[in-house]
Amino acid sequence: MAPNERLAALSAAGVSIWLDDLSRERLTSGNLQELITDKSVVGVTTNPTIFAAALADGQAYDAQVRELAARGASVDDTVREVTVGDVQQACDVFSGTWEHTGGVDGRVSLEVSPLLARDTEATLAEALDLWKAVDRPNLLVKIPATREGLPAITRALAEGVSVNVTLIFSVERYREVMAAYLEGLEQAAANGQNLASIASVASFFVSRVDTEIDKRLDEIGTDGALALRGKAGVANSRLAYAAFDEVFQGKRWAALTAQGAKPQRPLWASTGVKNPDYPDTMYVTELLVADTVNTMPEKTLLAFGEHGEVRGDQVTGAAAQAQEVFDALEGVGVDLTDVFRTLEDEGVDKFEQSWRELLDTVKGQLDGAT
């Protein structure tokens, strides 16, 4: 089958298409390889919600769980073996992409336990442990961009760990993430690490911003407020890109580039549209800009393949217009500081809940296998 033309065009425009999903079934059925060949997919991201769904659905893990139960493995050990095993296999599937792109793509992300999101030392320890356990050069360890996560990001990078920084909602926090990245690379260089081997992306969340702000606009209820629905997510991301463009053009970055460092690419996350009234591909089309990643749920990936449009760069030079949207939001009474605080807290809480569901699912499977 020839590659999908719309997705191939998106890829040719410089957008790295990553799938926001992974399961044992995708690996064993050959589906993941098909997406690479037919849908221009060049990477995969995972999170606790994805693994919880994968383990609860179907029988793909039954044999492994029975074996682990027979060995007397704990719930935590079972989760570790299952998730690390899936990610190792996915890394191997993407190894050709990783080599072909010089390490830019072909990446697979595995998240530290969200139960550690407010604990710097524990997050760092698990990040280092996951890096060693997976033992694949195309792994990205996902660390949340909480206050406590920022120093863990820096220190993990300093040890040569490639990092996907997740749960970024505000431009202010994104600037702190980029600063943590630069500091991590500087420490890595001081530690004798090869900067060319270190990769990172910054996962900036999109649709959740619209969901939260739209709710507040509905509560305000004025014509001016209602006219702003569905505009915040894209505007916020465009402002983030302007910050990225500024930071990675500066003197500090130039010094790291001379040592082989690669930019920390913006990754548009949460790009599945939550509101059915909005175009189902808008967080792909409206955020098209070269040298970025768009990580999509399969539904969004297939929708773009069917009717998505590649209209050229929609982000570069759009900061002033995006700022007008944010000025208007503040003008109608949206407390943006509270919005972003709420989104981060809810993001951590949702992943914690999914992680606990994952543990409960595995416990039930272990109990049933004994």
Q: What is the CATH number of the domain that holds 11?
A: 3.20.20.70
Question: Has residue 367 got a pLDDT over 90?
Answer: no
Q: Is residue 134 part of a domain?
A: yes
Check whether 58 has a pLDDT greater than 70: no
Active site residue 142: yes
Q: Which of 39, 142, 231, 262 is catalytic?
A: 142
Distance between CA atoms of residues 26 and 60, nearest Å = 10
Mean pLDDT of 156-177: 98
Helix ranges, the chain (H): 5-12, 24-29, 31-39, 48-56, 62-70, 75-93, 95-100, 120-134, 149-158, 171-190, 207-220, 223-226, 232-247, 251-257, 282-285, 298-307, 319-331, 336-369
pLDDT per residue as tens digits for the range 218-254: 999 999 999 999 999 999 999 999 999 999 998 899 9
**307 in Cβ contact with 281 (< 8 Å):** yes
Unique residue bearing structure tokens 């089309």: 285
SS3 163: strand
The mean per-residue pLDDT over the stretch 203-217 comes to: 98
Give the model's confidence band at 364: pLDDT under 50 very low, under 70 low, under 90 confident, else very high: confident
Q: Domain total for the chain?
A: 1
Residue 58: left (phi > 0), alpha (psi -120 to 50), or beta? left
Q: What is the pLDDT of residue 370?
A: 67
- The pLDDT tens digits of the residues spanning 313-354 come to 999 999 999 999 999 999 999 999 999 999 999 999 999 998
Which are the contacts of 200, defined by CB distance < 8 A and separation ≥ 6? 140, 157, 162, 163, 164, 165, 181, 262, 264, 265
DSSP string, 282-308: HHHHTT--TTEEEEE-HHHHHHHHHH-
What is the average pLDDT across 281-290? 98
**232 occurs within a structural domain:** yes
Averaged pLDDT of the chain: 95
User: What domain range is 166 assigned to?
Assistant: 5-22+38-44+98-340
Residue 126 lies in a domain: yes
Structure tokens at 308: 């998505």
Q: Is residue 333 part of a domain?
A: yes
- Name the H helices within 106-221: 120-134, 149-158, 171-190, 207-220
- pLDDT score for 288: 98
For residue 57, tell me if it sits in a domain.
no
Residue 109 placed within a domain: yes
Q: Is the dihedral of CA 88, 53, 288, 310 positive or negative?
A: positive
Whole-model pTM: value is 0.96
Report the distance separating Cα 170 and Cα 167, nearest Å. 10
Is residue 31 situated within a structural domain? Answer: no
- Pairing mode, if any, of strands 163-168 and 139-144? parallel
Q: Is residue 142 part of a domain?
A: yes
In whole angstroms, give the CA distance from residue 47 to residue 71: 27
